[in-house]
Copies of this chain bind each other. A is one copy, B any other.
């Protein structure tokens, strides 16, 4: 595979040849849509299916733009499993009107997940509303929202997956910062209704994570496992600085082994927000991910 290979022209097995992986090696690999957002949804489907990647994680905005039913059909036709839908959440508003709007939007997200036949809706909790300083109260509002949404999601066979984000996002994006906090909330609900996301980028620094992964696994709470590496310096706004697998300091294999040992056997989804990857050919990026996955994760 060369840097200028046209992405959707690659055929099944090309990736296997290119990276020296067997189909079994890639059996759990999923590519999150945002990792190769230079691709349209049809390019993503053709590219991943053609390259032998069996799963994709999707985002609501590009799916809505393409059409939710149409996207679901595309996934079925290309044989791709939708391993997660990103994202619901943003539950922390204290204003009643903003709160109702958020709940309506989350019910729509659950409906979309059901159409896409994914069992996992990823939730980013939301940050502290402007002017507020009570983060514990904001976390309680997350739990309140889940109590309202979990039955609706369960009726549609969708599990809500609380994603703890790195503490650097606690004020403006997600008041749930550790796997322990996510589990403290999730465990108020049945395990088949509310789970957690284990994302290496957000959790790698925390010495309590091994114990919390074991706790999550024992309770059947691991709804998704996502990979990105940690690299510095962080860019302004700290959102788009995630590293390609192997470029940073995260013990990715150690994480995968812990998650496996905890009983998780689902998809391993690669979600990297990085403009340098977006500037490259999509198929080249996915092939590189598959090589790095084999080298640093399997």
Q: Which of A176-226 contact B (CB under 8 A)?
A: 177-178, 181, 204-207
Query: Is A251 an interface residue when CB atoms closer than 8 A count as contact?
Result: yes
Interface majority SS (helix, strand, loop, mixed), chain A:
loop
This chain's copy number in the assembly = 2
Query: Is A148 an interface residue when CB atoms closer than 8 A count as contact?
Result: no
Contact of B205 with A251 in the complex, beta carbons under 8 Å: no
Contact of A205 with B170 in the complex, beta carbons under 8 Å: yes
Q: Which of A160-182 contact B (CB under 8 A)?
A: 166-168, 170-172, 177-178, 181
Q: How far is the CB of A258 from chain B (nearest CB, A)?
A: 13
Contact of B171 with A134 in the complex, beta carbons under 8 Å: no
Stretch from A75-83, A233-241, A271-279 forming part of the interface with B: A233-241
Interface size class of A (residues with CB under 8 A): 20 to 34
Beyond known contacts A168-B168, A170-B205, A178-B206: 19 more, CB 8 A cutoff: A132-B249, A133-B249, A133-B251, A133-B254, A134-B251, A136-B207, A166-B168, A168-B238, A171-B230, A172-B232, A172-B233, A177-B205, A177-B206, A233-B237, A233-B238, A234-B234, A234-B237, A234-B238, A236-B236
Binding site for B on A (CB under 8 A): 128, 132-136, 139, 166-168, 170-172, 177-178, 181, 204-207, 230, 232-238, 248-251, 254
